[in-house]
Structure formats: C-alpha cells, structure tokens
C-alpha cells in the first residue's frame, strides 16, 4: 500500500513538472515571436531617414516596457489571441527612407499600409514571405522604383494590391495571375511594360486598374469571360494594339469602364457595351472609333457619365436620346463627325451638368442649349 502511494506521488510530481515545463516553453516561444516582430519593426525604423511628425518616436524597447510593448506602438495592431502583429498602418505620415526587407519576418501580418509617404528604392523580395497578407498598399510613393517582386506569388491570401502612382518599371509578374483571392489590382501611373493577358482569368477580381503605363500587346476579344465579377476596368493611356474588345456580355457586374487614349485599330463602338445594365461610367476618348453610336447605349438607365471625345463617330443622335437616361450628368462627343439636329428629348436629362457637342456638324444646337440650360 505504501509502495502504491509512493508511485502515485511520483506521478503527481512528474505531471506537475511536465505541466510547468509546457507552459514555460509556450511563454518562451511567445516571447521569441514577439521579439522577432519587434526586431522587424526596429529594422524598419532604422531605414527611415525622415519622420517629420515623430510617429515612430515611441518605437523603442526599455526595461520598463510591457511584455507585448510593440502592440502599443503607433500604427501597430496586434492579434488579441496570440499577441502577434497583424496590421501595420503608417499611411500618409510623410516618412522618407527605404522599405526594410525585415518586414518580411512579420509572419502574422494581414495588412501592410505604407501609402502616401516618400519611400525610395525598391520593394524588397522578402515581402513575399508574408503569406497571410490580405492587403498590400504602397501606392503614392512616387520615388519607389524597380520591379514588382515575383515573390508576390507566395501571398496566397492577398485580396487587395495597391501599387499605383509610383515609379515601378518592368513587366508585371505573371505570377500575379495565380493569386486566386485577388479582388483589387491597382497599378496605374507607373512605367510598367509587357502584355497583360494573364490578368484576365481571376473569378473573384472586381477592380482592375492598369491605366497610364507602357503596357502593350492585344486585349482579349472577350474581356470578362474569365473575370465574371469585374466592376471596374481602367486600361487607359497604354500602348495596346489590335481591335477594341467586342464581346462584353460576360461583364454583367461592370460599372466603370475606361479605355481612353489607346490606339486601337479603326472600328465601330462595340454594340455589346450597350447591354451592360449596371454601367455608370464610360470613357472611350481618342480610340479611333468610327461609325454610328448604337441605340442600345441610350437605353442604359444606369449611365451617369459618357465621354466619346476625339473619335470619328458619325451619324445622328436618336430622337429619344434622353428618354431612358434619368441619371446622366455628363455627356460629351467633342471632336467627332456627328451631324443632324440635336434631339429635343435632351430636356429629359434632368440631371445633366455638362454637355459638349463642339467640333461636329450639328444644326440647331443653340436653341436646344437654351431650352435645356
């Protein structure tokens, strides 16, 4: 009996020791992770050469710091469950310097927002280590240059990619087309080159903005066959060639379309665009368009803004032009070959704020303008 009691006591002592050891290891592991996060942030701070608002002044470690001190640093958000850093938001802080590759060690990061600063240098390849990241926003850092790192393909959870208004060059990594969770891609106002056919196969993508670059090649004839949820498509001011895409029937969610200043082959305005029942904004300026404006465009009751400037459109405007456009605020056909009488139904466009018929061959334009305005 004494022997049994002795064994039971030993087991209790062993169990207690294991319990203590387990939680000691857990605490040490957590402390190690937090130290890794803090080291990454301090490395980032050391790469900053100008902090005009002293937003990083409390980024420091002292003997009086709390256990999870970095969670109290400005711009830092930690996960309440395990204490790891999940968001870094330093947008519009006037920071100057380079982006430290040590940010790639923030392994639990979900949001990285550095927009509206003055970072220079390139985007570090180590940023591809952030495989939990959902939002990457480094737009409006006009001195940020170099290529978009191909390691971005490792960000399997990425949903929003904002790199616009920088000085990024080279081709867009084809690996971006493999990121199946993407909802938004905004790369406008850079110096990017190459073709973008790999971008037209993403079932969740809603906003694709690649305007004002040096992108080239042809566009797919059926734009939305692989982009069924597309709401915004901005491809303006690039070097694409070939014909303007003709098939738009799969773009059932499209609200905003900007194709201006692309030197497409001469051809008609695709009538299929007139079947996009959710379309609100349409920009097709300086696109070598010719022929008549399809009547279907004037049945899109959702339209707010129409700009057909600087093309070779001809024919007349339909008499019932404004019978189905109650929300239209802007209508411009400046510099075309349109002729005939301005439809009196334009008086039904009661929301109209801007109207331009200049440099066409219309008649009766003054009386119509006086009637409406």
Q: What CATH number is attached to the domain comprising 141?
A: 3.80.10.10
DSSP of 19-30: HHHHHHHHHHHH
Question: What is the rounded CA–CA span in Å between residue 105 and residue 110?
Answer: 12
What is the pLDDT at residue 2? Answer: 41
Residue range 268-283: average pLDDT?
96
In a domain, 208, yes or no: no
- Residue 114 contacts residue 90 (beta carbons within 8 Å): yes
Distance of CA 98 to the CA centre of its chain: 22
Q: pTM value?
A: 0.88
Q: In 3-state terms, what secondary structure has residue 45?
A: helix
- Residue 138 contacts residue 163 (beta carbons within 8 Å): yes
- How many CB atoms are closer than 10 A to CB 164? 24
What is the pLDDT at residue 22? Answer: 34
| CA nearest to 290, candidates 272, 269, 310, 307 | 269
Q: What is the pLDDT of residues 221-231, one digit of tens each?
A: 999 999 999 99
- Residue 232 contacts residue 255 (beta carbons within 8 Å): yes
Helices (H), the chain: 2-46, 365-372
In a domain, 370, yes or no: no
| CA nearest to 290, candidates 261, 318, 270, 319 | 270
In a domain, 12, yes or no: no
Question: What is the rounded CA–CA span in Å between residue 312 and residue 336?
Answer: 5
| CA nearest to 148, candidates 103, 182, 186, 115 | 186
In a domain, 196, yes or no: no
In a domain, 250, yes or no: no
Tell whether the model's pLDDT for residue 108 goes beyond 80: yes
- pLDDT bucket at 83, cuts 50 / 70 / 90: confident
Q: 92-128 burial string, b = 16+ CB within 10 Å, else e?
A: ebebbbbbbbbbbbbbbbbebbbbbbbbbebbbebbb
The rounded percent of the chain whose pLDDT value lies above 70 is 87
| CA nearest to 55, candidates 96, 25, 100, 20 | 96
Q: How many CA atoms, within 13 angstroms, populate the side-chain half-sphere of residue 204?
A: 12
What is the pLDDT at residue 80? Answer: 87
Residue range 169-175: average pLDDT?
96
In a domain, 298, yes or no: no
Between β-strands 96-97 and 48-50, what pairing exists: parallel, antiparallel or unpaired?
A: antiparallel
In a domain, 181, yes or no: no
Residue range 92-110: average pLDDT?
98
Task: Indicate the helix (H) or strand (E) that contains 354.
Answer: strand 354-356
Question: What is the rounded CA–CA span in Å between residue 271 and residue 293?
Answer: 8
- Residue 354 contacts residue 329 (beta carbons within 8 Å): yes
What is the pLDDT at residue 35? Answer: 80
Q: Whole domain around residue 75: which residue ranges?
A: 20-60+68-162
- Residue 346 contacts residue 372 (beta carbons within 8 Å): yes
Tell whether the model's pLDDT for residue 24 goes beyond 50: no
- Total domain count for the chain? 1
- pLDDT bucket at 25, cuts 50 / 70 / 90: very low
Which residues are CB-neighbours of 62 under 8 A, at least 6 positions away?
A: none
In a domain, 235, yes or no: no
Tell whether the model's pLDDT for residue 7 goes beyond 50: no
Tell whether the model's pLDDT for residue 61 goes beyond 90: no
Backbone region of residue 98 per phi and psi (left: phi > 0; alpha: psi in -120 to 50; beta: other values): beta
Question: What is the rounded CA–CA span in Å between residue 140 and residue 119?
Answer: 9
Question: What is the rounded CA–CA span in Å between residue 349 and residue 134?
Answer: 42
Tell whether the model's pLDDT for residue 59 goes beyond 90: yes
Question: What is the rounded CA–CA span in Å between residue 243 and residue 75?
Answer: 47
């Amino acid at each position: 009996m004494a022997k049994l009691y002795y064994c039971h006591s030993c087991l209790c002592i062993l169990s207690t020791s294991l319990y203590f050891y387990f939680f000691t290891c857990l605490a040490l592991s957590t402390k190690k992770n937090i130290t890794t996060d803090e080291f990454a942030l301090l490395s980032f701070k050391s790469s900053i050469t100008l902090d005009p608002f002293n937003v990083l002044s409390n980024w420091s470690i002292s003997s009086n710091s709390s256990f999870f001190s970095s969670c109290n640093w400005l711009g830092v958000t930690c996960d309440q469950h395990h204490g790891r850093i999940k968001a870094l938001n330093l947008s519009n802080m006037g920071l100057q310097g380079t982006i430290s590759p040590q940010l790639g060690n923030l392994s639990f990061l979900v949001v990285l927002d550095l927009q509206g600063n003055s970072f220079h240098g390139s985007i570090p390849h180590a940023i591809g280590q952030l495989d939990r990241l959902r939002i990457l926003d480094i737009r409006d850092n006009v001195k940020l240059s170099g290529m978009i790192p191909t390691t971005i393909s490792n960000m399997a959870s990425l949903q929003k990619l904002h790199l616009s208004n920088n000085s990024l060059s080279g081709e867009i990594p084809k690996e971006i087309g493999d990121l199946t969770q993407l909802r938004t891609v905004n790369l406008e106002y850079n110096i990017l080159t190459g073709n973008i056919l790999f971008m037209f196969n993403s079932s969740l993508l809603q906003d694709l903005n690649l305007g004002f670059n040096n992108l080239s090649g042809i566009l797919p004839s059926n734009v939305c066959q692989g982009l069924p949820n597309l709401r915004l498509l901005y491809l303006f001011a690039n070097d694409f060639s070939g014909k303007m895409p003709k098939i738009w029937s799969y773009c059932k969610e499209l609200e905003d379309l900007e194709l201006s200043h692309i030197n497409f082959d001469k051809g008609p305005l695709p009538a299929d665009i007139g079947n996009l029942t959710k379309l609100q904004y349409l920009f097709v300026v300086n696109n070598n368009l010719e022929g008549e404006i399809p009547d279907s465009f004037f049945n899109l009751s959702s339209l707010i803004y129409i700009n057909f400037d600087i093309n070779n459109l001809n024919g007349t405007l339909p008499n019932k032009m404004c019978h189905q456009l109650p929300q239209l605020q802007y209508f411009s056909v400046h510099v075309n070959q349109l002729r005939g009488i301005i439809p009196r139904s334009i008086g039904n466009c009661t929301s109209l704020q801007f109207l331009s018929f200049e440099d066409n061959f219309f008649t009766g334009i003054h009386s119509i303008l006086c009637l409406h305005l």
